[in-house]
Amino acid sequence: MSPRYTRAIAAASPHPDPSLALEFCRLRRASPIVLLSGCVGFGEEYTRVEGFSNREAGAIVLKGTTLKPRLGNPLHRVTETPMGMINAIGLQNPGVEYVVKNILPTLDFAETRFFANVCGSTIDEYVEVTRRFDDSPIDAMEINISCPNVKEGGVQFGNYPEMSARVVAACRKVTKKPLITKLSPNQTDIRENARRCIEAGSDGLAVINTISGMVVDLKTRRPVIGNVQGGVSGPAIKPIALLKVREVYEVAKPHRVPIIGQGGIESANDALEFLIAGATTVGVGTGLFYDPLLCPKINAGIAAYLRGARMASVAELTGSLVAGPDGDCG
């Protein structure tokens, strides 16, 4: 890929290039970028940074929200690793009622789309959180069945296709808003899970969540993370995430179910790889911690690539992976 297509433009426009506009789960968006849950708080975390604008993202996924307030996991919760980090926050949040009544009214829905991140320890809790967000201005909901950092819920549902489908089907009954299921990489067959979630009513899929991992303190011989394990994110997981996106794309394409591709994106080149592999949009999370002004650079780089490739829209990139010598990607 020629560097001239993806070189960041220092003085990027405050509004994404028109070629980046697309439709995702029946929602028109100005950019393929999605700011990922847990990385931008409840939507305003980075607006205090000079030069940052929510308008550079096509959507923002709010922090994971449960039915009742949660204090989260014991310390330590975050540590850096080579090419990334591990977190085990444990879904700390003030509960859905507080989010709907006190946080959503402060968000500017004219800036971008806002997605809720729905979490629970039981199917009934997922349903109640979904029901509450349905009666709110939120644009869509991400069903988080893949958080590796909690002892109940999360991967307890997300690693088993039948359980994943049950959660999605139950949430589907209480909302007509778009549902995006966040899939776990910590499972045997992500394709089967994707298929079952689509059949259960998922409008979109987020691929992938963090990968379970651990770090040891050599002085104490104890885990660095208080929860023992946490979720690995950042560039270290990108090759795994790309493959999972391609695998899920092969299942989702016949149903026209779009994918948020995520896992280690910190440049326009990274984002382009995910789009070509099969993602409709790309999620940015850990990369923001290192460069809060990453979004306009990614937007500018994608737009430059489209111009160089003589493509009118970013949608043309989705799933455009060129196969091997015999034309078969399988």
Check 25, 39, 119, 147 and give the catalytic one.
147
Cα-flanking dihedrals φ and ψ of residue 288, to 5°? -65, -30
Query: Is 147 considered catalytic here?
Result: yes
DSSP secondary structure letters along 9-33: PTT--SS--GGG-EEETTEEES-SE
| H or E element in which residue 244 lies | helix 238-252
Q: Are the C-beta atoms of 16 and 41 separated by less than 8 Å?
A: no
Strand-pair partners of 86? 79, 232
Q: State how far the Cα of 204 lies from the Cα of 298, in Å rounded to an integer.
A: 22
SS3 at position 130: helix
**Cβ neighbours of residue 181 closer than 8 Å, sequence gap 6 or more:** 142, 143, 145, 164, 168, 197, 202, 204, 205, 206
Strand-pair partners of 35? 60, 284
For 87, counting Cβ atoms within 10 Å of its Cβ (0-12 exposed, 13-18 middle, 19+ buried), the class is buried
Q: How many CB atoms lie within 10 A of CB 29?
A: 22
Strand-pair partners of 87? 78, 231
Question: Which residues have a catalytic role annotated?
Answer: 147
